[in-house]
Amino acid sequence: MSPSFLFFIFLLITEMSASSSANPFVDGKYKTKLLTVDLSSKTPQPPPKSLLVATPMEKGEYPVVMLLHGYLLLNSFYSQLMLHVSSHGFIVIAPQLYNIAGPDIKDEIKSTAEIIDWLSVGLSHFLPPQVTANLSKIALSGHSRGGKTAFALALKKDGYSSKLKISALIGIDPVDGTGKGKQTPPPVLTYQPNSFNLDKMPVLVIGSGLGEIGKNLLFPPCAPLGANHRDFFQDSQGPAWHFVAKDYGHMDMLDDDTGGIKGMVTHYLCKNGKERRPMRRFVGGTVVAFLMASLEGDNGELVKIKNKSEGNPVEIQEFEVKK
């Protein structure tokens, strides 16, 4: 074989390898580690709340993603999702905002703002020495009630805000109460299209096709109509993206195994899909593609998802975009 032909084969293999590793629905190229940071940590600046941190292990500077858990859930229930996103080059931080809570989310908004501000003084003490957080690129995300909290902080509800700038906002099947007119305090949804003034902050809203369907007569929908992802996207200004996964439910992005009573309840409270892995991969991949577009200026993978590219682990039921 000629040297030029061998060189051509080498370039082809390299391109195929790069394309494969860029697929956001599979694990990325970075080795990752899950760290637990609790309030008793012996450092000058312990965090305001206990944290679970997924970080790449290779030397480098990485954007930060804050992930807020759903109502009465544990941050550890999101460990597989966190590691997936982190493997694509992001530091993912999930605080445990509470263990027991009433309907009001004011304390959660306040705590989230405090944690984001803590990042600049405390996070470096817990990361591997070769890893640096890029605090000029922070994305705020949340699932269910945590999604509402993320939007509330981004909108500076009740005067709460973080000193560090939030560059992107993600709602993972966000919920604001039990229906229209039945919001939990403080209400976030306005039911007025494009009313969320986020100063052109990119927004991603992911919905579950089964979330608005009740499990049975005893268990109502976990993401009810009038208070779910559709309404959050409707109220959002562009640029905003909205994806709905068909045949998957409100809890299907959690870990396969969620321990304890709370973990057991996640399998029985909501109408779910057949298994969690496809939805978790879809959520993780869509979040990665969105982060690449909004924080790194590379919208290639997000466009592929919009165009229903091969490799997507779920069927997209609905898609909308606001420019």
Active site positions, annotated: 144, 173, 250
Distance between CA 49 and CA 119 in Å, rounded?
12
Cβ neighbours around 103 below 10 Å, total: 11
| DSSP calls for 213-251 | S-SSSSS--SS-TTSSHHHHHHHBPSSEEEEEETT--TT
| Tokens linked to 226 | 């009038």
| 249 Cβ contact list (under 8 Å, min separation 6) | 208, 210, 211, 222, 270, 271, 272, 273, 279
Q: What's the angle, vertex CA 18, arms to CA 13 and CA 22, rounded to 5? A: 150
| Tokens linked to 162 | 């973080």
Distance between CA 246 and CA 291 in Å, rounded?
23
Nearest residue to 127 via CA among 154, 91, 173: 91
Distance between CA 234 and CA 245 in Å, rounded?
17
Burial state string for 185-198 with b = 16 or more CB within 10 A and e = fewer than 16: ebbbbeeeeeebeb
